[in-house]
Amino acid sequence: MTARVTIADVARRAQVSTSAVSKVLRNAYGVSPAMRTRVRAAIDELGYRPHNAARALRGHASTLGVLLPDLRNPFFPDLIDGVTAGVGGTGYTVVISQSGSGPESESRAVHALIDQSVGGVVLVAPLSPQAQLEAIARTVPVVVLGRHDRSPYYDAVFDDDEVGAELVVEHLAALGHRRIAHVAHRDAGRGHPDTLLENLRARAYERAMIRLGLGHHTDIVWTSYSEEGGRQGTAELLSRPEPPTAIFAGADLAAIGALAALSEAGLAVPEDMSVAGYDNTWLASLAHISLTSVDQSAADMGRTAGRLLLERIGGRTASARISITPRLVPRRTTAPLS
């Protein structure tokens, strides 16, 4: 454990004041080219690295936090890559944290993140009520992903889940399906912000069914956007007196679970049952799975979120609300009703 090289060491070496070194570091005004090169040289020679904690103490953050509900959803890595790309070259480091399920553990996680003195946070599909998010936004710039919130205090990025759900229902209906069921996600705890993507997808599903005259075939099972959730939900659907002929799962992971349940039940996909997911993760595109899904461009969303966060940090106070239009990617798990 060697002693740290500080700005003072650099200053001594370069025969200037610490203020001067600080200026060079921040490339602030008032530095002659000669001094700059001298300081730069000293920095390199000593292998100086700024101490972020000290900087943070003075109010300058060097990291941005991304809070994910869990790491298992294959949608998130793409999102993270997008965020990283969006803030690329600005000197910010992106740190990732897991919020767990439930508003309490989420709140704990977000505060833990803030306590790291991050410059801003991207909250992915948070469960906390809007008021609470706004309280957070008063402390640190916030971008919320996956909720259609309309808040003056934080930005929102989301795909148009209504459109996405419609695309799926219309696709299935066009294939001749009428009994189209939906596997939805029920959050832990009470609250359930109704701007949260899972709830919007479910409602949009209902509306699309009604619009297409299939209202009486509406059938939602509330489990979770996980493999297990999809499996259970599908099992439940299969036990109906009149099971559906197509299942629209609100997430690819749940769709995968549905495929598992169907294969266990000895049903063939898409011959006996069509299945569609949402998110178009790489899972869906696996040749082995080839799941019809809705693409919402995780990378774009992440990049946008990153950019908005930087803008907020840069001083923008007007609130942004950016919607991304999803697009259907038909694959082999959906086929005409036979």
Partner DNA sequence: GCCGAAGTGTAGAACGTTCTCCGTTGATAT
Partner DNA sequence: ATATCAACGGAGAACGTTCTACACTTCGGC
Helix axis angle, 298-313 to 75-86, nearest 10°:
40
Interface residue with its own copies among 27, 287, 314, 318 (CB under 8 A) is: 287
Instruction: Find tokens 């100086």 and name the residue.
Output: 48
Nearer to its own copies, 261 or 328 (CB): 261
Binding partner of residue 70 among its own copies, DNA, none, CB under 5 to 8 Å per kind?
its own copies
Amino acid identity of 250? G
Interface residue with its own copies among 6, 18, 22, 97 (CB under 8 A) is: 97
Q: Shortest Cβ distance from residue 226 to its own copies (Å)? A: 10
CA–CA separation, 161 vs 201, rounded Å?
6
Binding partner of residue 316 among DNA, its own copies, none, CB under 5 to 8 Å per kind?
none
Instruction: Please report whether residue 292 would count as binding its own copies according to CB under 8 A.
Output: no
Binding mask 42-61 for its own copies (x = CB under 8 A): -------xxxxxx-xx----
Phi, then psi, of 121 in degrees rounded to 5: -135, 145
What's the chain's Rg over C-alpha atoms?
Answer: 25
Tokens of 174: 């066009």
Is 30 strand, coil or helix? coil
Tokens of 41: 């040289």
Burial class (CB in 10 A: 0-12, 13-18, 19+), 192: middle
Interacting span for its own copies (CB under 8 A) from 10-18, 88-96, 144-152, 174-182: 88-96
Interface residue with its own copies among 88, 194, 286, 325 (CB under 8 A) is: 286
Interacting span for its own copies (CB under 8 A) from 175-183, 186-194, 235-243, 253-261: 253-261
**188 near 149, Cβ under 8 Å?**
no
Is 147 strand, coil or helix? strand
Nearer to its own copies, 200 or 258 (CB): 258
Interface residue with DNA among 13, 16, 159, 167 (CB under 7 A) is: 16
CA–CA separation, 135 vs 140, rounded Å?
9
Instruction: Please report whether residue 71 would count as binding DNA according to CB under 7 A.
Output: no
Interface residue with its own copies among 143, 172, 196, 289 (CB under 8 A) is: 289
Per-state percent for the chain, helix, strand, coil, to nearest 5: 45, 15, 40
Instruction: Please report whether residue 256 would count as binding its own copies according to CB under 8 A.
Output: yes
Is 322 strand, coil or helix? strand
CA–CA separation, 242 vs 233, rounded Å?
15
- Determine how many CB atoms are found less than 10 A away from the CB of residue 149: 20
Interface residue with DNA among 31, 96, 267, 337 (CB under 7 A) is: 31
CA–CA separation, 236 vs 299, rounded Å?
34
Binding partner of residue 214 among its own copies, DNA, none, CB under 5 to 8 Å per kind?
none
Q: Shortest Cβ distance from residue 49 to its own copies (Å)? A: 6
Interacting span for its own copies (CB under 8 A) from 36-44, 63-71, 172-180, 205-213: 63-71
DSSP string, 138-150: HHS-EEEESB---
Instruction: Please report whether residue 319 would count as binding DNA according to CB under 7 A.
Output: no
Instruction: Please report whether residue 22 would count as binding DNA according to CB under 7 A.
Output: yes
Nearest to 306 by CA among 130, 94, 151, 111: 94
Q: Which residues bind its own copies (CB under 8 A)?
A: 1-2, 49-54, 56-57, 62-63, 70-72, 74, 76-77, 80, 84, 93-98, 111-113, 115-117, 138-139, 227, 231, 256, 259-261, 263-264, 282, 286-289
Q: Which residues bind DNA (CB under 7 A)?
A: 3-4, 6-8, 15-20, 22-23, 25-26, 28-35, 48-51, 54-55, 57-60
